[in-house]
Amino acid sequence: MTDQQDMERPTFSSGATFLDAPSGDRSAPVCILGVPMDWATTNRSGARDGPHAIRRASRLLIDGDHPVFRTNPNGLGLSDLGDVPVMIGDIAESHRRIEQAASGLAHLCALGGDHSISLPLLRAAAKQHGPLGLVHFDAHTDTWPENFGQSLAHGTPFFHAMEEGLIDPNRSVQIGIRAPMGAHLMDKAEATGLSIRSADWVHENGAKAVAALIDEVTGGGPSYLSFDVDSLDPAFAPGTGTPEMGGLTSWQVRKVFTLLQSVQFVGMDVVEVAPAYDHAEITSLAAATVVWDYLARQAAQGQERGA
Asked, for residue 159, whether it belongs to a domain, the answer is no
DSSP the chain: --HHHHHHS-GGGS-SSGGG--B--TTSSEEEEEE---TT-SS---GGGHHHHHHHHGGGG-SS--TTT---GGGG-EEEEEE----TT-HHHHHHHHHHHHTT-SSEEEEES-GGGHHHHHHHHHHHHSSEEEEEE-SS----S-BTTBTTSTT-HHHHHHHTTSEEEEEEEEEEE-S---HHHHHHHHHTT-EEEEHHHHHHH-HHHHHHHHHHHHTTSEEEEEEEGGGB-TTT--SSSS--SS-B-HHHHHHHHHH--S-EEEEEEEE---GGG-SSSHHHHHHHHHHHHHHHHHHHHHHHHH-
> At 302, is the pLDDT very low, low, confident or very high (cuts 50, 70, 90)?
confident
Over the stretch 33-46, which tens digit does the pLDDT of each residue have?
A: 999 999 999 999 99
Asked, for residue 155, whether it belongs to a domain, the answer is no
Range of the structural domain that residue 69 is part of: 3-145+165-306
Q: Looking at residue 179, which CATH number applies to its domain? A: 3.40.800.10
Calculate what percentage of the chain has a pLDDT beyond 90. 91
Going 245 to 251 to 270 to 20, the CA torsion angle's sign is positive
Asked, for residue 68, whether it belongs to a domain, the answer is yes
pLDDT at 263: 97
> At 107, is the pLDDT very low, low, confident or very high (cuts 50, 70, 90)?
very high
Asked, for residue 157, whether it belongs to a domain, the answer is no
> At 95, is the pLDDT very low, low, confident or very high (cuts 50, 70, 90)?
very high
Asked if residue 4 has pLDDT above 80, the reply is: no
Asked, for residue 180, whether it belongs to a domain, the answer is yes
Asked, for residue 154, whether it belongs to a domain, the answer is no
pTM for the complete prediction? 0.95
Asked, for residue 263, whether it belongs to a domain, the answer is yes
Asked if residue 222 has pLDDT above 80, the reply is: yes
Number of domains composing the chain = 1
Asked, for residue 156, whether it belongs to a domain, the answer is no
